[in-house]
Amino acid sequence: MGKSTQIRDEVKSFKDLTIEVQDRGICGKCGGCVSFCSAGEFNALRMEEDGTPRLVDEEKCVKCGICYLICPQIIALNHELDEKMDWKPPIGPFRKLVSARTTSPEIMEVCTDGGVVTSLLTYALEKNLIQAAIVSRRVGPFTRQPMVVTKPEDLIEAAGSHFEETFHLDEIGKRYSSFVPSVRDIRTLGERNLDRIALVGTPCQVYAFRKMQLLRVVPSDTIALTIGLFCMENFSFDEKARKKLEKNIGIKLKNIRKLNIKDNVIVTQENGEVVHVPFEAVDELARPACFACSDFACDYADISCGGLGSPDGYTTTMVRTGIGEKVFNGAKQEKYIREWSPRDKEKYRIHKTEMMAKIVSFALRKKNRAKRTLGE
Ligand SMILES: Cc1cc2nc3c(=O)[nH]c(=O)nc-3n(C[C@H](O)[C@H](O)[C@H](O)COP(=O)(O)OP(=O)(O)OC[C@H]3O[C@@H](n4cnc5c(N)ncnc54)[C@H](O)[C@@H]3O)c2cc1C
Ligand code: SF4
Ligand code: SF4
Ligand code: SF4
């Protein structure tokens, strides 16, 4: 994701994606190109076991350009997207920036920050504003998989970033990855007869989805609400790197109860001890694709959420669009969530200014990192 350009006249296809993304080592293995290939039923593309997309049969490629245009590492539609979403520098449009938290003790018990994401989805499902939500659930340390939830009570399984107490390291396989290929699950929505879906995802996932929406790729029209997560990086590493990570942070993965990311990586151990690990200590385990990514605050979401800038136990919540506002205001009115608003108005004003400054600073830091990676 980078600066805006116009769609070019010539249609680019998977071969161009190979040159511009895979050969540069910045493929995020999101699976979008394979899942939405127009020649999917003829198996023109295939996903390798490690998530790498491959062209199986060039003859079957109809050169439609979909795989190229929806790839999160391709910026060819930025200009159109920015216009459609009314994007403004430096972190996109927003109508409200608040620290908020859930009112549900059950959600608070398991959530990452203030449980706003889970509460907004619970509200939207219970009030029938959406029929389902694409979220992710934990399947091991650093490992999650996408799931489509239709019942509010099932959202609890997706909330937070606690580790399963019963996980067995040896069952997890050779690779750990915190990245969730949720974009692939959009493909299944048509078959499930679901419309009005919410998508929770990282900036790259929301960006890819918005491009599908722009191109009217079916069934992206069924996504009615996007809740984006702030994101500095995601991790993917093998057994050797796991040992290095444990040495770097001085904690065994099996002793980690909860992971959170704000100004740095916050590790809560089983014994309750909390350790703050600087990004630099874990940077080498981040996915290479993340270093080429320039969106921190999920600029194209309806609502963006993070922990940065909020007091502990609160979610920093940016309400960006009309639908985002409808869901946020409804959830607040019906007391699913509440805002942090100290009586001291001057304290509140300073808090908001500082929160905004932190988000902008992280967003610029990420943009500059992407420029360096891409040699711009
Ligand atoms: C990989 C990653 C990196 C992040 N980096 C930052 C950061 O640098 N700074 C910052 O302030 N905030 C960051 N966040 C956001 C922050 O950790 C919280 O997710 C956010 O504040 C929402 O908290 P909550 O308590 O409201 O969410 P909850 O109510 O706990 O809900 C969390 C939701 O996130 C979904 N989810 C969890 N893990 C993933 C994942 N890997 N991919 C996609 N969806 C997932 C769950 O399905 C659930 O719906 C990051 C989140 C992730 C997943
Ligand atoms: S058919 Fe279209 S989506 Fe599939 S590989 Fe060819 S250009 Fe890409
Ligand atoms: S980042 Fe995703 S869409 Fe782009 S080439 Fe890799 S798997 Fe395909
Ligand atoms: S930094 Fe986050 S949003 Fe960007 S590619 Fe990595 S996981 Fe996706």
Domains of the chain (ranges, CATH numbers): 10-74 (3.30.70.20), 91-374 (no CATH)
DSSP string computed for 63-101: ---HHHHH-TT--TTHHHHHHHHT--TTT---SEEEEEE
Q: How far apart are CA 262 and CA 203, in angstroms?
A: 16
Question: What is the reported pLDDT for 342?
Answer: 86
Which protein residue has the closest C-alpha to ligand 4 atom 7? 234
Binding site membership of 260 for ligand 1 (Cβ less than 6 Å): yes
Pairing of strands 175-177, 143-149: unpaired
Q: What is the pLDDT of residue 6?
A: 41
Ligand nearest to the CA of 66: 2
Atom of ligand 1 nearest to the CA of 179: 41
147-187 confidence digits (pLDDT tens): 899 999 999 988 976 544 333 333 334 556 666 777 777 77
Position 317: which residue type? T
Answer whether 28 contacts ligand 1 (Cβ < 6 A).
no
Minimum-distance ligand 4 atom for the alpha carbon of 290: 6
* Other CB atoms within 10 Å distance of the CB of residue 9: 5
* C-beta of 64 in contact with ligand 2 (< 6 A): yes
| Ligand 2 site, residue 63, Cβ cutoff 6 A | yes
Atom of ligand 3 nearest to the CA of 29: 7
Whether 120 lines ligand 2, by a CB cut-off of 6 Å, is: no
Nearest CA to ligand 3 atom 4: 71
Indicate which ligand has the atom closest to the C-alpha of 363. Answer: 1
> Which ligand number lies closest to the CA of residue 289?
4
Are 286 and 191 contacting, i.e. CB atoms less than 8 angstroms apart? no
48 C-alpha vs ligand 2 centroid, how far in Å? Answer: 17
pLDDT in tens, 252-300: 888 888 888 888 888 888 898 999 988 888 888 888 999 999 999 999 9
Rounded alpha-carbon distances, angstroms, from residue 140 to 156, 177, 267, 356:
16, 10, 16, 34
Residue to probe by mutation, ligand 1, list 229, 265, 295, 318, most atoms within 8 Å of CB: 229
Pocket of ligand 3 (CB under 6 A): 17, 21, 27-33, 53, 71-73
The pocket around ligand 4, CB under 6 angstroms, is made up of 28, 179, 202-204, 231, 233-234, 287, 289-290, 293
Nearest CA to ligand 4 atom 6: 290
From the CA of 347, how far away is ligand 3's center (Å)? 45
**Rounded CA gap, 121 and 117, in Å?**
6
pLDDT of 116 = 98
pLDDT of residue 1: 53
**Protein residue whose Cα sits closest to atom 49 of ligand 1:** 135
Question: Which ligand number lies closest to the CA of residue 233?
Answer: 4
Mean pLDDT of the chain: 88
* Contacts of 196 by beta carbon, 8 Å cutoff, 6+ apart: 129, 130, 131, 132, 222, 224
Atom of ligand 2 at shortest range from CA of 12: 7
- 10-residue mean pLDDT series, the chain (376 residues): 50 95 93 89 87 91 94 95 95 97 96 96 98 86 81 91 41 55 72 86 93 90 94 84 83 83 87 89 87 97 97 97 98 97 91 97 96 91
- Determine the pLDDT at residue 178: 67
